[in-house]
Amino acid sequence: MNQPSTWSARGMSKGVFLAMFLIPFVLTYVVGWLSPLIGLVGVATGDGGGWIASKLVHAVLYIWMAGASWARGAANGSKWAAALPLTAGVFDVFLAFVPFVPTVLNIVALVVGVQNGRAAAAR
């Protein structure tokens, strides 16, 4: 029996994309809020590795969002949208002193991913 799948060779559905994008999107803020606490624990224990661990988690979350954007881009003809979370990750991990850029880039990637796009409309 053939059941419609949300993940196929043509990309992922909007619902799966929203879940795969919003979960790490929210987690980037949670990790960002916990980073100072992780750093203090590292200093208190003499380990000092808490800061590196939080940045590594940030990087993994942004790679996750880029993968979701790329997979959704296969469905709507915008694989280039994967560059938006990757760029946001660079700003969030390495250039954290520049505010709002990661948030704006991630919201643009979310909007692009939810749209149907020209390639999907032409089918």
Q: Where do the domains of the chain lie?
A: 14-116
Q: First CA to last CA across the chain, in angstroms?
A: 24
- For residue 105, pLDDT over 90 is answered with yes
pTM over the 0.85 mark: no
**Among 41-55, 56-70, 84-98, 102-116, whose mean pLDDT is lowest?**
41-55
Query: Tokens for 100?
Result: 């709002």
Query: Tokens for 42?
Result: 């590292």
User: What is the band of 123 on the pLDDT scale with cuts at 50, 70, 90?
Assistant: very low
- State mean pLDDT over 89-112: 90
